[in-house]
Chain A
Amino acid sequence: MQLMAQRRHQRQTECLRSGAVGMRHAQASHGRAHGWGARCGWCALALGVVLGVAAPGAAEDSVGAASSVFNESGGPLHMTVVVPTVKASKDLGQAVTLRAGWTADVVSGASVAVVDAPAAKVDAISSATVTDTRHAFNGSVEVHDGLAALAVGYTHAFENDYLSNALNVSARTDLWDRDTTLQISYARAFDEVCDLAGSFDPVMKPRLDSSKGCFSDHKTRTEHDLASHTWQAAWTQALTPILSLQVSGSAQVNHGFQSNPYRAVRIGRTAAQEHHPIDRARYSLGAGLRLWIAALGGSLSTQARAYRDTWDISSLSGELGYDQTLVAQLRLRLRGRYYTQTAAAFYSDDYVLDPRGQYFTGDRELSPLQSVLAGPALLWTAPTDDRGHVLGVLSGFELTLKGDVLKTYFNHFHYDKAPVPNTFALIGTLELHGLF
């Protein structure tokens, strides 16, 4: 993505040299996209994402690979998530881009199975070993010209106890000499969650103890549906030659099974599988500014977000970042973020003493919490040779090394009387991105 931005920068410089010629060319190509481009787009979608079928004149193809490690630990609880991702894009002519990607979550660790089980401290008895791998494959086709783009994509994700199929469409357009960019998107997901088979009163329902037998004809397993609709819109505006604004909003409606089937909550003498409402509507609004500081040759960015949902969670977050070019090919980015949220209406730290109606949860992320995230990122762009190549093959290459620390404060959540021990997490990412 950095490389793409770099390329845009180069193109912008060329555009500055050629004045309005570039704009006229873009407007001329706009007309061509609707005919051949749109038809080719649907053909490409039907074919899936076969990247080897380049049309003559392919413009700018890319391959990106990244791997992140998330590690959270404390007391007997720990969680490690390794996330590898590979992405590729290929231009078919001037009007169509195919994209394909794969990502996985390789999860291992120990979490608490029965929240509020009587114990002086968080112990291994109430903890559950978690080992799972989620794979997600996605593909999309985008039809575009110089000023607008329309994309359609599909994602299929699966793991032992969860299946997801999602369709998304998005549209983007530049307006008013490209001072303004508007983007809208819609996604529809059809998910299935494994659970215990049988008819239970919620307060008597045991938790799922393993994913064995899920998505098979096993008589002790069943699947619940979870459907979601997500709408997003963003408006980006160049306000002055050194200041850019972005406002974005999103809304999501979920309907279906939204509990964690493995988690149980002590609600009396026994523990029952947590029981969440089946409907949830979520809304958020964010705004950010980016300011170029010419004297330093860097950019200052700030962002704020407000969120509200029908489970009565409200949240606010604020972020501040600074991006500085150190030497010609090396940039340093520093960033800090603060987040705070209120509790879900049905959240209680102790359902025996303080029940909250028919629903109950053991999810600490539904309690009031605050978190702080901060870290640096280094971005290196490989210099090109006289012919504009890197390593003789690529037309561009970039490496990103990023690290963050995440500290979360769960002041109102306890495992019986014990505070949450695993509140500190490290996130590290290495990303490679090449252009052809």
Chain B
Amino acid sequence: MQDSASSSELRALLACGLLLLMAALGGGCATVRPEEKEYLAEPAMSWSSGGIAKEHEDHMVDNREGSFGGESSPAGGCGCN
């Protein structure tokens, strides 16, 4: 029973990994030209727009939950670093 659960988790993990790999490779094909990045460069579209306030919230909420991680990363994305 335990082996079956482990192997199903492993399959799910592999499927997720494959999906991510395909998406990452596919990402290289998507092209947004520099002159089309006006809206992506808006502050409201930035993934790093939370500031210290977001760090505080994550810190407080993490202490009220049994899980962690997987939240957004402040890694660029507006194409204009």
Contacts and interface: CB of A to CB of B under 8 A. Distances in A.
20 contacts: A1-B51, A83-B59, A177-B79, A178-B76, A179-B79, A182-B75, A234-B72, A236-B75, A237-B23, A238-B40, A238-B77, A241-B37, A241-B39, A246-B75, A248-B71, A249-B70, A284-B68, A341-B66, A402-B57, A433-B51
Interface string B34-46: 1111111111111
Contacts of A176: 27-28, 31
Given A5-B48, A66-B52, A15 B73 contact: no
Interface stretch (A196-204, A261-269, A292-300, A387-395): A292-300
B66 A248 contact: no
Given A236-B77, A431-B51, A13 B38 contact: yes
Interface of A: 1-2, 4-6, 8-9, 11-13, 15-16, 19-20, 23, 64-66, 68, 70, 81, 83, 85, 87, 105, 146, 172, 174-183, 230, 232, 234-242, 244, 246-252, 282, 284-286, 288, 290, 292, 294, 298-299, 303, 305-309, 313, 315, 323-325, 331, 333, 339, 341, 344, 363, 365-366, 369, 371, 373, 377, 400, 402, 404, 406, 408, 425, 427, 429, 431, 433
Main secondary structure of the interface of A (DSSP, over half): strand
Contact of A307 (B35, B40, B56, B68): B68
Contacts of B67: 282, 284, 307, 309, 313, 315, 341
A232 B80 CA distance: 23
Interface in B1-27: 9, 16, 20, 23-24, 27
Nearest to A244: B77
A178 B24 CA distance: 14
A324 B56 CA distance: 22
Contacts of B63: 365
B56 A244 contact: no
Contacts of A246: 47, 72-73, 75, 77
A240 B32 contact: yes
A68 B60 contact: yes
A381 to B, nearest CB: 8
B55 to A, nearest CB: 7
Contacts of A235: 20, 23-24, 27, 75
Nearest to B28: A176
Nearest to A381: B43
Given A6-B43, A178-B81, A246-B47, 5 more contacts: A1-B50, A64-B52, A70-B60, A182-B75, A183-B75
A22 B76 CA distance: 17
A251 B43 CA distance: 29
B66 A313 contact: yes
A260 B35 CA distance: 54
Given A307-B67, A408-B64, A234 B51 contact: no
